[in-house]
Homo-oligomer: A and B are copies of this chain.
């Protein structure tokens, strides 16, 4: 395994002092810039289908409407905008949401404190971010247990080291050893302290969103934050057709601060949406139209992303299922609807229902990820580490997924049609019945030819046997430990660090501990 790790090291090795510093920081691997897709998109709906779903979504908005719960300000804003507000139910005149969304940027930059790590959200860019939300962790040494802040830091570090993770993410796991009302401070701080990739803010309470913005201002400066996106934040619709006060509260904080929100209907189709793909797409589009338009009501021009978390339920047990055909079709279709709406798109990741990093986990994750990438998804949450329907962050799963992400990044480069890519010189040199192993073209391309997996064992059966018949997750167990051992924190201005710690200490002292 250490040998394979060395190979990766070798391959990614660039020249220059910055590259060396980079490797020292990042555990020997050079970070890749976000993906700029050079391959085409895959689309499942034609113009007729798209127009039909858009018309149906308009019908839902007009006839049925969306509830904005326990938020008088939201209802007031909608009334002023010309919506039909009865109780908490808001019905939208045809075209209102779309015209409001016209002020949202098609593409924007989320800035990282290291400018080389800033990412483009939208267009032909794809950004991979880690798993979000699990209260448990799993690894081969300890099995499954509740996550702690130490695990949180570990996943931030692993995401920092992973070349094809472009983003530090948000709640990489839920640090349940810290009080609920205080842990967001430690989470945001960990992203800043242990990584220099862009990250997400807290959404579990408006005050926690405010704290996230405050901390971001301490790192980036107030003026910069006012003008630029430095936080991207997950706002889930409470499907079907409800936004609750917590989410609306966080949304308002971030939109007012000119920070990005990802409006994401959280869909287990069959429970939160109809059992059909077209029906689910209709509802998803209606919910996103309402949520994204609301962000523009709060602050025109605030970045907003079309999110879609697509899963189905087992019709027997009601349990969520992943990697199956219907959610793939939903994701592809939603990506098309987002492009027509003119805002960036989030879906997918490496989703699975499996409790462990076995074949089920891998089939489901690969099915989800392949569709996510070919759909042209711009922001990919849960790109690595997801297990058990999002209940556990897996250490082995994390590095296994990272290997897949790097493969996807390579795939997105497409076919090299340069003279070197065409390789006619090689075909001429080798000729019939010989082989290409030692030819000049092969030697010239040795370092960059073919993606080199960090996890796969491609050795002979005999060698694999001699090395202990290891499963992929057993090799992954060695790899994440190696990554953590190699990790070196990126530099952080001591003044900023001190200010952040002071702010957190003051905040924490002002609150009682709350564990629920």
**Residues from chain B with Cβ under 8 Å of A436 in the complex:** 240, 270-275
Output the residue of A45, A53, A408, A435 with the most chain B CB within 10 A.
A435
Complex Cα distance, B324 from A272, in Å, reads 36
Interface string of A426-442 (1 = CB under 8 A from B): 11101111111100011
A412 nearest CB neighbor, chain B only: B325
One of A109-117, A155-163, A364-372 contacting the partner: A364-372
A39 nearest CB neighbor, chain B only: B44
**Residues from chain B with Cβ under 8 Å of A317 in the complex:** 458-459
Is A363 a contact of B365 with CB atoms below 8 Å?
yes
Interface string of A45-66 (1 = CB under 8 A from B): 1001100110010011001111
* CB within 8 Å for A464 and B355 given contacts A374-B42, A432-B241, A453-B324: yes
Is B283 a contact of A450 with CB atoms below 8 Å?
no
Is A432 a contact of B366 with CB atoms below 8 Å?
no
Interface string of A248-278 (1 = CB under 8 A from B): 0000000000000000000001111111111
Complex Cα distance, B52 from A120, in Å, reads 33
Complex Cα distance, B471 from A374, in Å, reads 29
Is A320 a contact of B400 with CB atoms below 8 Å?
no
Is B422 a contact of A282 with CB atoms below 8 Å?
yes
Is B407 a contact of A325 with CB atoms below 8 Å?
yes
Closest Cβ of chain B: how far from A460's Cβ, in Å? 7
| A337-384 contacts to B (CB < 8 Å) | 353-367, 370-371, 374
Closest Cβ of chain B: how far from A433's Cβ, in Å? 5
Closest Cβ of chain B: how far from A66's Cβ, in Å? 6
Interface string of A318-339 (1 = CB under 8 A from B): 1111011110110001000000
A48 nearest CB neighbor, chain B only: B417
A423 nearest CB neighbor, chain B only: B279
A11 nearest CB neighbor, chain B only: B315
Q: A238 at interface (Cβ–Cβ under 8 A)?
A: yes
Beyond known contacts A242-B433, A362-B366: 19 more, CB 8 A cutoff: A44-B414, A44-B415, A48-B417, A65-B432, A270-B442, A274-B441, A275-B442, A276-B416, A277-B416, A314-B450, A317-B458, A318-B437, A319-B460, A325-B411, A326-B451, A361-B362, A362-B362, A364-B456, A366-B367
The 5 closest A-B pairs by CB, nearest first: A279-B423, A362-B362, A366-B366, A274-B423, A241-B432
